Amino acid sequence: MKPPVGGQAVIEGVMMQNGDRIAVAVRRQSDNEILVRNLPARSRFQRIDRIPFLRGLFRLYDMLSLGLRALNLSTHLAFPEEEQLGRSGTFFTFLFAIAVAVGAFIVLPLYLTHSISGLRLGNSVLFNLVEGFIRLAFFFLYLVVISRMKEIHRVFQYHGAEHKVVYTYEADEPLTVENAKKHTTLHPRCGTAFLMTVFVIAILIFSLAGNPTLWVKIVSRLLLLPVVAGVSYEALRFTARNYDRWGVRLLAQPGLALQRLTTAEPTDEMLEVALAALNRTLVDNPAERRVPAPAPAASK
């Protein structure tokens, strides 16, 4: 069985991961050259990875850490002439983004739902359903707004390129632009699908906290976030491994539908970048690497 590969869109490029082999490919804006760099794997929780539910939280931490490193590297490669954020600047920017996300997608929906007198002290399941729908509506609106920004739209195009290239690899086809173009930009193992799973499972788990006062609700949501992450990760693993079953496919449709906002059709040049990243992760496996990296310029 072929080992799974995955990745994410970065600034003007794609990060690909194949086991411990991680590569970032970026098209430098000054001369249109494709640059490919390796990233060291830093998995700190290999033993915990065998423990269901607990592994999801630590796996999420690894993914966020890797994503930040890939974004920093891609920015440096794509725009080397511009001033870059240091490690401390990136860290505090990330903390600020987390704080804004918690406020916008957890605290604010909870406050708005709590302000409805008929729900404030009523059934906890109904309360959490309304809160969950408000949270999902905020997230949907957020994606619609940022997808209209030119810079974000390009990131979403690279996101689509990553998915198309992964599909080409999984289909055991030669890794070429023409083969990648025919595949869809929607993939069941996407992080967007994970977020949709989080929204649904959060409704169920938050209901366990009952319907106490507002501040108790806020604290309970924050304390239960690791539980939500762990259960959601297991659900995503189950979906990826059983996607050939019609029932699982049906359950995965909302996550795939949401990806229509976070992916876009890439250009051929973007597919070249994604293929270059994937080929670098296959360089130690000549049997898997069926074609040379499709970059017009040599990687450095």
Residue 279 near residue 169, CB atoms below 8 Å: no
pLDDT value for 121: 74
From residue 148, alpha-carbon distances to 56, 141, 154, 173, 283 in Å are 32, 11, 10, 33, 37
Tell me the backbone φ, ψ of residue 92, rounded to 5 degrees.
-70, -30
Q: What is the mean pLDDT of each run of 10 residues along the chain (300 residues)?
A: 85 94 94 94 72 82 86 89 67 83 92 88 84 93 93 96 96 96 92 86 87 89 91 87 88 89 96 97 59 38
- pLDDT given at position 87: 64
Residue 291: what pLDDT? 42
Is 199 in contact with 132 (CB distance < 8 Å)? yes
pLDDT at 86: 62
Q: What is the pLDDT of residue 213?
A: 87
What is the pLDDT, as a whole number, of residue 224?
Answer: 92
CA dihedral 93, 98, 103, 109 (to 10 degrees): 140
243 phi and psi angles, rounded to 5 deg? -65, -15
249, with CB counted inside 10 A (0-12, 13-18, 19+), is middle
Please state, in angstroms and rounded to a whole number, the distance separating the CA atoms of residues 280 and 103.
39
The per-residue pLDDT for 135 is 93
pLDDT of res. 108: 94
In the structure encoding, which two tokens stand for residue 151, read together?
């810079």
Residue matched to tokens 């404030």: 120
**What pTM value is reported for the model?**
0.85
